[in-house]
Amino acid sequence: MPTNLSARLCTFLLSLFLIAFALPAFAGPFEDAVAKFANEDYSDTDEAIGVVASSGNKLAFPIISALQDGRLMADPDSKKVYVTGTDGKSIDAATGEPVASVPDSASAVRLNNRLRRSVDAALGSLTLQSPDLGARLQAAQSVYKSHEETALEPVEGALAKETNRSVKTALSEARAAILLFKSDATEVQKLEAVATIKARGDQEALALLSDIGTDQPASVAKAAASAIGSIQSSLAVWSTVQNAWYGLSLGSVLLLAAIGLAITFGVMGVINMAHGEMVMIGAYTTFVVQEVIRTRYPALFDYSLLIAVPLAFLVAGAIGVVIERSIIRFLYGRPLETLLATWGLSLVLQQAVRTMFGPTNREVGNPSWMSGAFDLGQITITYNRLWILVFTLAVFMILLAMLRYTALGLEMRAVTQNRRMAASMGIATSRVDALTFGLGSGIAGIAGVALSQIDNVSPNLGQSYIIDSFMVVVFGGVGNLWGTLVGAFTLGIANKFLEPVAGAVLGKIAILVLIILFIQKRPRGLFALKGRAVEA
Amino acid sequence: MPTKPIHDIAASFSRRGVLAATAGLMLGLASISGAKAADDTIKVGVLHSLSGTMAISETTLKDTILFLIDEQNKKGGVLGKKLEAVVVDPASNWPLFAEKARELITKDKVSVVFGCWTSVSRKSVLPVFKELNNILFYPVQYEGEESERNVFYTGAAPNQQAIPAVDYLMKDEKVKRWVLAGTDYVYPRTTNKILEAYLKSKGVAQEDIMINYTPFGHSDWQTIVADIKKFGSAGKKTAVVSTINGDANVPFYKELGNQGVKAKDIPVVAFSVGEEELAGIDTKPLVGHLAAWNYFESIKTPANEKFIKDWQAYTKNPKRTTNDPMEAHVIGFNMWIKAVEKVKSTDPDKVIDALPGIEAANLTGGTSKMLPNHHITKPVFIGEIKGNGQFDVVWKTPGLVAGDAWSKELDGSKDLIGDWVGKKCGNFNTKTNKCLGSGS
Amino acid sequence: MTSHMLTRSLDRGAAIFLAVVAACGILIPLSNLLLPAGSFLQVPTYLVALWGKYVCYAILALSIDLIWGYCGILSLGHGAFFALGGYAMGMYLMRQIGTRGVYGNPILPDFMVFLNYSKLPWYWHGFDMFWFAALMVLFVPGLLAFCFGWLAFRSRVTGVYLSIITQAMTYALLLAFFRNDFGFGGNNGMTDFKDILGFNVQAEGTRGALFMLSCLGLIVSFLICRAVVSSKLGKVLIAIRDAESRSRFLGYRVESYKLFVFTLSACMAGVAGALYVPQVGIINPSEFAPGNSIEAVIWVAVGGRGTLVGAALGAIVVNYAKTFFTSGVLAPYWLFMLGALFILVTLLLPKGIVGTFNAWREASKERRPAAATASAAAEDGVTEPKMAEKRS
Amino acid sequence: MNVMDTRATSAMLYLDGVHVSFDGFHAINNLSLTLAPGEMRAIIGPNGAGKTTMMDIITGKTKPDEGTVLFDGVTDLTRLDETRIAELGIGRKFQKPTVFESQTVQDNLLLALNVDHSVKGTLFWRGSRAESERIDKVLETIRLTDARNRLAGSLSHGQKQWLEIGMLLAQDPKLLLVDEPVAGMTDVETHLTAELLKEINKTHTVMVVEHDMTFVRELGVKVTCLHEGTVLAEGTIDQVSSNERVIEVYLGR
């Protein structure tokens, strides 16, 4: 976790800081280099980083880590450079002496991507022996990426002391990377290095091996070529796994968007073209929740989605009930008219949101537990996609259980199967209608919370899902939640396997055409209900 | 079955009814056209979508023109008359753009129109402006390959945005491998064609260029981001040049951030991502990714600071952002005012002839000039995304870059120039010394 | 035979409608051309183009009404046929530009030049000839409708399922035409037309002629629809609309009827699109947008489905409102109004304007001697769709 | 080969060993039934006995899982669709009266007439004297001559039933399937309907599904009782109604 990491880094930094204090200042290339930070020139900054990092000066680490965090202040007029600590106290970067305050004319030393890479490389060799495990791992990895010869000695030093296995692996990989590019390394060392990197077996190993150049001994070049070959073939297998995962992930998004529709369309037979707008309302609810949290209770930000889910359900559900009572109930048995009226409704809702929240995208942040990714074998799984998949399946299961075990679920099924009979048994059918529609809309609202994490929160959000959702429900078979599940995942996976072959646009067209043809073959979808009841 | 005899029908056919209905319709038509233009104001047409998918971008531009007109009227208007904005809503519907343009010019008798965002909307209104001989100021960066007498292009041509950005990446970031990712429409297609030709001319091999197109509003970027990562791990420094359009950018950047594509590893330089687009995302994972524009809100010049202050005061929103197309409208509007004052008339013919050569200060400390090809000179900035949704300028062109109507990199257009002053031609072939096509 | 079909299809409302359209078709261009500009009765050119557009929409509305109002097929993809007809015309107009394009290429349209096409794609051949393009205007939408309908109607895809897959069809075409590789100009589509049959498309005379042609197109379409719906085939269509399986058990091959009327309707939509393109001056993929097709359906609903005059009138009224409300202070509220119109018409005015008017007239006739009523009802050819089917 | 030899049976309608199930529910179970030319048969049976499903099978709406359905001894009905079967000469009246409500009585009959049903035929159709005479005759038979120009939707329930029977007459099929013709009718109407069916039976083969025992008795024809998709008993109404298993099924004992 980044926050955690930086906190630990700071502790480490402070301890170094205290050591630096005790040392007397000495003049020389280090001071000159520090002064270069004040030149407002990227090349000078780059040079200064190199000199400072390799100076061996105890101030090197505080300076460079301050540079990374934007806490290195430089005064272009006096050429003085200051390090502002995380506690707000500042020192003179050249001498290490504390200063009362940083002059107003000083501003943070600016970085660009090239400099960030230099900073990473410099920090890498400086933090190889940090007490923090994460910092060490990151350091080893950035040394691996930069594989500069100067880092060999620190890496070997660290390797000797390291006890943690994963850091040790990372360090030996870093060492191997350096050796591979070191012109005076022996052939044996290089061959060993190739083997180490081959064992790593990922894209970065491939990158490193393809980059070793032509001035290598023949045996090394050969070993590298065979390593590349074997890594590539294992990656090819992984890419199929990856496509399958992406398909599942896309399928979960489709399912989430379609699940509410499976209720309103599948169970009630209501064509709700404003379904997408219910999703949008859910997303905007998330936005409002986050706004309130951001301004009032910033500490709760990580829980914002948990708060938004029930709220989105209630808001979208309530709007759904209002829509059912005011419009849809007059149109039962007239599916085509319902379609038109709800389309009109979707225009109104979109424009209403546009008027209230403005036409531009609104920012909905990812809580920390939904940011980032982890590696599973050779594929990257992002947390937000994983959580959405889990969340979707949870919503699906809860819905199934609800339909099966609760009184409302029972009443809903009764009304769907035989309205007149249900009414004569004392079920308030109109109340059930309203609640069913509210349920479908509420679930669409919940979908909006999840979709706000991966898509735009704009008035057009819903429109981009409506056609896909209908395709899923129709493909899966109307009136069958399991059909919707299977339909969504089938379409998701098919799409993701088509995309690398046909490209995103043609892939999408192909899917649409396939669905149209499929409907001809099975007009009632994958899991159609049979029998006389369906025909009526 | 019984059938009505013919004479019956003739009898029931009401001649009076037809006459009345027709006359009513004609009168109705005539009275619509009878709307009189007030003579004591100069009318300025604003042709930006206020609803539909493009409202997200264009609403701000409508507000910008209203703001500029307000400011100008505070200074006493122009030629002693107040300016009056005529706002219409083409509703992101391209044929409606043409209809509304016609209405603005014929019915409302505007002297100039500021409008359009997408190329297709410009293409849609183009014949109308030519036919009715009026002026359109078009404020958005576009694919070039056009120079029309009635249109003034205040946004960037490809050589004022794409090429400098690629130059920067090549020189400063030492990029060797290129991903050209774009939405599948004309601007990205053309820009990528130009870039491909340019990169090849700089010695980049075909296998080091990956081109990828996605549909409008694409939201599932998993595969493409993974492909980019894979392409970028071939051992050479890789960068992504993104011509991805508006709405699709948010999920794209979110996916980039989540899959851990850092700017320091694979930087993305975008041509369609500005302050407004970033307003919808948490930019912290995106720090270091780049955008190339002719203006950034964060640029510190007195002119820009005053503009932002006045704009936020006018819109009563202290957080309202500014962006590149807004600056283009500011420049275009000021150029038009100057041209009108120069010829002391709002007659389109006179103003069109007066505009080339007119100079107006831009907001970034320079002075832009209208060129004979109806494009303007502009500085080019490369900005890095900062954590607060603004840009930090990391590079700028030493001087102003003149906009090329016709790309030098494309076979079809390398010999063409637009020159409405000397040659009176938008597509003049310098090889054959002929004005091509309809421009003659 | 023909005269018989004509007389049978003319009643008072239709006759007035046709006469008004014909009168406008002649008077509006004449007033535009002959009267001095600015005079009270002169219709300015921009209004001629605008009303020309409305008339094209009216033809589209008729084609939708023919299948929806009379046969119960709700197509949410009729914009696709309209757009295909438009594209066929657009391709002809592009080829007519010839060397007047910005690159001066005599064969390739501009967008092909800057996307480095070396030669004309095969499907562009022939479009330099008007007769061929005109044939394609009918043929391409007709063929698509035929293939689509052949598949869909045979496998008995009906009701909302059909609506949804027609929507998928137009959406797939939208995505396809957006692709630049498809060779139709991508998102920008085709524009900046010069000539049609040698006449400058922007000349006032050409505009007047196009307007006249559009009115003629509307009249002819109207007569064709009228002939169809008042023939016995029309009765079969209504029978299919009201009780499809009953019609099957009577021995009617329902899919053939649907296919016939769907294809006919698609051809009409194609003609509407072809007339539309030279008047608005652009054709691009947004015409395929599902929203456009749905909007066209609402014109029919507003005017009154199952009444031909209503469909045409609905298209004109809604589009006039659109023009009116998208200018000036009301501009931000247009979508609210359009949306409300959808809702209110379906809720309160299910028969549409003309349908409600007819019902009111019927009701007032009821008070008169009963004998007249029945024959009038049979005669009018105006039938209200069956609204309330029992809920399953 | 002689044409006559290909006839597997001389029956007008021949069902043998027919099975059909919906999602595991056996709606029709080894059903065998024969209807001779010119016969009128009444089918009775409790709800869910498979009466309507049987008609669905005969008219091609439902395809059986197995079994033989032959029409006129030669035609395998399981391979044909509704339209083709209707063209062969099987007409059907639904349980719920199904007429074209927004068209006139006369038009309903016109649509039912056994003439050219092709698209081209209807598009260029012109009425003939023969056709209108037939319509007049049917109208008279079903006692709706005065209502000929009324919309079918405005008819009373009983009138709709008659109109539907009239449509069958206009269709002039070889075999009429009549599903609950007297449901919701007054006694007088029921009596008239029985007379009407008997009249029709003089020239057509008829199969009547009905609950109303008085009506069945009045028809005085052979009765088949179905239960759980199979034939339970067959014979005269008296034989069937005294059959113990029939009594058991009806009274739930």
CA distance A263 to A275: 11
Please check whether residue A276 is in contact with residue A461, taking contact to mean a CB–CB distance below 8 angstroms.
Answer: yes
Across the interface, whether the CB atoms of C193 and B1 are under 8 A apart is answered no
Residue B214 above 50 pLDDT?
yes
CA distance C285 to C191: 12
Among the listed residues C334, C224, A14, the one whose alpha carbon sits nearest the alpha carbon of residue B96: C334
Segment C346-363 shows an average pLDDT of 85
Among the listed residues A325, A284, A269, A349, the one whose alpha carbon sits nearest the alpha carbon of residue A438: A325
- The pLDDT tens digits of the residues spanning B374-394 come to 999 999 999 999 888 889 898
pLDDT band at A13 (very low <50, low <70, confident <90, very high): low
Please tell me the predicted confidence (pLDDT) of residue C391.
36
From chain A, the residues in CB contact with D25 under 8 A are 531
Instruction: Output the six-digit token pair for A335.
Output: 């599916």
Q: Which residues in chain A (44-63) have CB-CB distances under 8 A to chain B? A: none
Please tell me the predicted confidence (pLDDT) of residue A87.
78
Across the interface, whether the CB atoms of D102 and C378 are under 8 A apart is answered no
CA distance B340 to B346: 6
Reported in sequence order, the residue ranges of C232-348 that DSSP labels E, i.e. its strands, are 282-283
Q: Which of D23, D53, D56 sits opposite A530 (nearest CB)?
A: D23
C189 dihedral zone (left: phi>0; alpha: psi -120 to 50; beta):
left
Please tell me the predicted confidence (pLDDT) of residue C133.
95
Q: Which of B22, B90, B120 sits opposite C284 (nearest CB)?
A: B120
- The set of chains that have 3 or more CB pairs under 8 A with A is B, C, D
Among the listed residues C273, C234, C240, the one whose alpha carbon sits nearest the alpha carbon of residue C254: C240
Please tell me the predicted confidence (pLDDT) of residue B11.
41
CA distance B263 to D205: 85
Residues of chain D scoring pLDDT < 50: 1-5, 253
Q: Which of A332, A340, A521 sits opposite C297 (nearest CB)?
A: A340
Instruction: Output the six-digit token pair for C346.
Output: 């379906």
Segment A62-70 shows an average pLDDT of 84
Instruction: Output the six-digit token pair for B215.
Output: 């549909």
Cα of A344 to nearest chain C Cα, Å: 4
Segment B404-427 shows an average pLDDT of 88
From chain A, the residues in CB contact with B258 under 8 A are 366, 371-373, 382-385
Across the interface, whether the CB atoms of C115 and B189 are under 8 A apart is answered yes
- What average pLDDT does the structure give for chain B? 86
- The pLDDT tens digits of the residues spanning C113-135 come to 877 788 899 999 999 999 999 99
Residue that wins the pLDDT comparison between B321 and C87:
C87
Please tell me the predicted confidence (pLDDT) of residue C261.
96
**Any chain B CB within 8 A of the CB of C391?**
no
Across the interface, whether the CB atoms of D124 and C235 are under 8 A apart is answered no
pLDDT band at A10 (very low <50, low <70, confident <90, very high): low
- CB contacts < 8 A (A, D): 12
CA distance D176 to A259: 46
HEC readout, chain B: CCCCCHHHHHHHCCHHHHHHHHHHHHHHHHHHHCCCCCCCEEEEEEECCCCCCCHHHHHHHHHHHHHHHHHHHHCCCECCEEEEEEEECCCCCHHHHHHHHHHHHHHCCCCEEEECCCHHHHHHHHHHHHHHCCCEEECCCCCCCCCCCCEEECCCCHHHCHHHHHHHHHHHCCCCEEEEEEECCHHHHHHHHHHHHHHHHCCCCHHHEEEEEECCCCCCCHHHHHHHHHHCCCCCCEEEEEECCHHHHHHHHHHHHHCCCCCCCCCEEECCCCHHHHCCCCCHHHCCCEEEECCCCCCCCHHHHHHHHHHHHHCCCCCCCCCHHHHHHHHHHHHHHHHHHHHCCCCHHHHHHHCCCCEEECCCCCEEEECCCCEEEECCEEEEECCCCCEEEEEECCCCEECCCCCCCCCCCCCEEEECCCCCEEEEECCCCEECHHHC
Residue B36 above 70 pLDDT?
no
B133: Cα separation from own chain's centroid: 20
Instruction: Output the six-digit token pair for D11.
Output: 């029956």
- The pLDDT tens digits of the residues spanning B143-171 come to 888 999 999 999 999 999 989 999 999 98
Residue C382 above 50 pLDDT?
no
Instruction: Output the six-digit token pair for C119.
Output: 């030669």
Instruction: Output the six-digit token pair for D224.
Output: 């088949």
Please check whether residue B406 is in contact with residue B144, taking contact to mean a CB–CB distance below 8 angstroms.
Answer: yes
- The pLDDT tens digits of the residues spanning C318-329 come to 999 888 887 767
CA distance A46 to A398: 57
Residue C99 above 60 pLDDT?
yes
**Any chain D CB within 8 A of the CB of B35?**
no
Domain boundaries, chain D: 8-88+173-252, 98-171
Percent of chain B predicted with pLDDT > 90: 49
Reported in sequence order, the residue ranges of C111-267 that DSSP labels E, i.e. its strands, are 190-191, 195-196, 199-200
β-bridge pairing D175-179 and D90-93: parallel
Cα of A302 to nearest chain B Cα, Å: 14
Domains of chain C: 2-380 (1.10.3470)
Please check whether residue B324 is in contact with residue B339, taking contact to mean a CB–CB distance below 8 angstroms.
Answer: no
pLDDT band at B413 (very low <50, low <70, confident <90, very high): confident
Across the interface, whether the CB atoms of A363 and B282 are under 8 A apart is answered yes
Please check whether residue B360 is in contact with residue B338, taking contact to mean a CB–CB distance below 8 angstroms.
Answer: yes
Residue C7 above 50 pLDDT?
no
- The pLDDT tens digits of the residues spanning D70-82 come to 888 888 888 888 8
Residue given tokens 């807004």 in the structure block: B326
Q: Would you list the DSSP string of D211-232? A: --HHHHHHHT-EEEEEETTEEE
Residue that wins the pLDDT comparison between D228 and C392:
D228
Most confident of A470-479, B396-405, D71-80: B396-405
Please tell me the predicted confidence (pLDDT) of residue A447.
93
Q: Which of D82, D99, D101 sits opposite C249 (nearest CB)?
A: D82
Segment A433-446 shows an average pLDDT of 92
ipTM of model: 0.85
Among the listed residues A294, A364, A464, A374, the one whose alpha carbon sits nearest the alpha carbon of residue B250: A364
Residue that wins the pLDDT comparison between B86 and B173:
B86
**Any chain A CB within 8 A of the CB of B317?**
no
Please tell me the predicted confidence (pLDDT) of residue A2.
46
From chain B, the residues in CB contact with C21 under 8 A are none
Across the interface, whether the CB atoms of C161 and A508 are under 8 A apart is answered no
Segment A200-220 shows an average pLDDT of 79
Please tell me the predicted confidence (pLDDT) of residue C367.
65
Please check whether residue B402 is in contact with residue B418, taking contact to mean a CB–CB distance below 8 angstroms.
Answer: no
From chain C, the residues in CB contact with B115 under 8 A are none
Which residue on chain B is closest to A369 by alpha carbon?
A: B258
What residues contact C291, with CB distance under 8 A and at least 6 apart? none
Across the interface, whether the CB atoms of A532 and D52 are under 8 A apart is answered yes
From chain B, the residues in CB contact with A206 under 8 A are 233-235
From chain B, the residues in CB contact with C97 under 8 A are 437-438
Please tell me the predicted confidence (pLDDT) of residue D253.
47
Instruction: Output the six-digit token pair for D29.
Output: 């179970």
DSSP A367: P
Cα of B233 to nearest chain A Cα, Å: 5
Please check whether residue C190 is in contact with residue C94, taking contact to mean a CB–CB distance below 8 angstroms.
Answer: yes
Q: Which of C156, C172, C388 sits opposite A513 (nearest CB)?
A: C172
CA distance D217 to D194: 10
State the CATH class of domain D8-88+173-252. alpha beta
Please tell me the predicted confidence (pLDDT) of residue A22.
43
Domain boundaries, chain B: 159-293
Across the interface, whether the CB atoms of A344 and C338 are under 8 A apart is answered yes
Across the interface, whether the CB atoms of A464 and B219 are under 8 A apart is answered yes
The terminus-to-terminus CA distance of chain A in angstroms comes to 58
What residues contact A65, with CB distance under 8 A and at least 6 apart? A9, A13, A123
Residue to substitute from D22, D54, D179, interface A, most A β-carbons within 10 A: D22
From chain C, the residues in CB contact with D91 under 8 A are 249-250
- The set of chains that have 3 or more CB pairs under 8 A with D is A, B, C
Cα of A514 to nearest chain D Cα, Å: 27
Residue B58 above 70 pLDDT?
yes
CA distance D190 to A490: 56
**Any chain A CB within 8 A of the CB of C182?**
no
From chain C, the residues in CB contact with B96 under 8 A are 326
Which of B273-282, C74-83, C156-165 is predicted least confidently? B273-282
A44: Cα separation from own chain's centroid: 36
Across the interface, whether the CB atoms of B233 and A203 are under 8 A apart is answered yes
- The pLDDT tens digits of the residues spanning B77-132 come to 999 999 999 999 888 888 889 989 998 998 889 999 999 998 889 999 998 999 89
CA distance B426 to C220: 43
Residue to substitute from D62, D63, D82, interface C, most C β-carbons within 10 A: D82
Please tell me the predicted confidence (pLDDT) of residue A126.
77
CA distance A53 to D103: 93
Please tell me the predicted confidence (pLDDT) of residue C10.
56
CA distance A143 to A159: 13
CA distance D89 to D109: 16
Residue that wins the pLDDT comparison between A103 and B402:
B402
Segment B218-223 shows an average pLDDT of 86
Please tell me the predicted confidence (pLDDT) of residue C296.
94
Across the interface, whether the CB atoms of A454 and B219 are under 8 A apart is answered yes
Cα of D118 to nearest chain B Cα, Å: 20
**Residue B427 — φ and ψ, nearest 5°?**
-135, 75
Q: Which of C228, C249, C377 sits opposite D86 (nearest CB)?
A: C249
From chain C, the residues in CB contact with D59 under 8 A are 249
Residue to substitute from C187, C211, C375, interface B, most B β-carbons within 10 A: C187
Which residue on chain B is closest to A40 by alpha carbon?
A: B394
- The pLDDT tens digits of the residues spanning D155-210 come to 888 888 889 889 988 888 889 999 888 887 888 888 888 888 888 888 889 999 88
DSSP A435: H
Residue to substitute from C160, C318, C325, interface A, most A β-carbons within 10 A: C160
- The pLDDT tens digits of the residues spanning A127-170 come to 777 778 888 888 888 888 778 777 888 888 888 888 888 888 88
**What 3-state DSSP class applies to A286?**
helix
Q: Would you list the DSSP string of D133-145? A: HHHHHHHHHTT-G
- The pLDDT tens digits of the residues spanning B285-308 come to 888 899 999 999 999 899 999 999
Q: What CATH number has the domain spanning B159-293? A: 3.40.50.2300
From chain D, the residues in CB contact with C243 under 8 A are 98-100
- The pLDDT tens digits of the residues spanning B19-32 come to 555 555 555 554 44
DSSP C386: P
Q: Which amino acid is at B267?
A: P
HEC readout, B228-261: HHHHCCCCCCEEEEEECCHHHHHHHHHHHHHCCC
**Any chain D CB within 8 A of the CB of B3?**
no
What residues contact D169, with CB distance under 8 A and at least 6 apart? D138, D141, D142, D200
CA distance A75 to C296: 66
Q: Which of D83, D99, D102 sits opposite C383 (nearest CB)?
A: D102
Percent of chain A predicted with pLDDT > 90: 21
Domains of chain A: 2-117 (no CATH), 127-216 (no CATH), 241-535 (1.10.3470)
Please check whether residue C274 is in contact with residue C137, taking contact to mean a CB–CB distance below 8 angstroms.
Answer: yes
Q: Positive or negative CA dihedral for B295, B301, B303, B309? A: positive
Residue A493 above 50 pLDDT?
yes
Cα of A524 to nearest chain D Cα, Å: 15
Residue to substitute from C65, C292, C342, C351, interface A, most A β-carbons within 10 A: C342
**What 3-state DSSP class applies to C322?**
helix
- The set of chains that have 3 or more CB pairs under 8 A with B is A, C, D
